[in-house]
Amino acid sequence: MSNEAYIETPLGIAIISGDKNGISSVSVTRESKKQLSKNIPAQLQEAVAQLTEYFEGNRTHFDLKLNPLGTDFQKKVWNELLKIPFGKTATYLDMAKRLGDPKCIRAAATANGKNPLWIIVPCHRVIGSDGSLTGYAGGLWRKKWLLDHENPVKQQSLF
C-alpha cells in the first residue's frame, strides 16, 4: 500500500507517494485547500526532508530510493534526466541523442512530460533547442522558478 504526504512548497502543495519499495510519485497540486500532513509516514520522511532542503537552497542532489511506474522507454528517459546536473539544462534534442536516436525526440519529450517524480527527476531542466521554456506539466511559471532557484543570477557589484 502506498503512503502519501502533503507538504507546503514555494510552488504549491507537493504530494509525495511511496512505500517500502521507494518513492513512486511527487507532484504539485493547484489546490490550495489541501490538508497538509501532520504525520509523515516513515517511508516518506527522507523524501520530505530532502525536498525541504532543496527548497531552502541546501540540496543540489537527491539520494532517494525511487520506484516510478512507467514503460521501459519512459524509465530510460527518466534515468537520462537524472544525469542533467543541478543548475544546468539540456535540450530535447540532447536527450534524444543521449538515448541513441535523434529521431526519438518526440517520444522522449512525451516521456519527459509523464515524469511522475517532480523535481527529484529534473524534467524542468529540459528546454527547447532555441533556449525557450517549452511545455511543462506544472506550468511554465513553475519551470522558470525552478531554473532560477537552481541557477540564480548573482548581481555584480558596480563598486
- Band of the pLDDT at 1, cuts 50, 70, 90? low
Could you tell me the pTM of the whole model?
0.89
**pLDDT tens digit sequence for 103-152:** 999 999 999 999 999 999 999 999 988 888 887 878 899 999 999 999 87
Q: Residue 80: name the closest of 104, 60, 57 by CA.
A: 104
List pLDDT tens digits, range 40-89: 999 999 999 999 999 999 999 999 999 999 999 999 999 999 999 999 99
DSSP track, 56-88: TT--SS----B-----HHHHHHHHHHTTSPTT-
Considering the candidates 7, 13, 23, 123, report the single residue annotated as catalytic.
Answer: 123
Exposure of 139 by Cβ count < 10 A (0-12 exposed, 13-18 middle, 19+ buried)?
middle
Active site residue 104: no
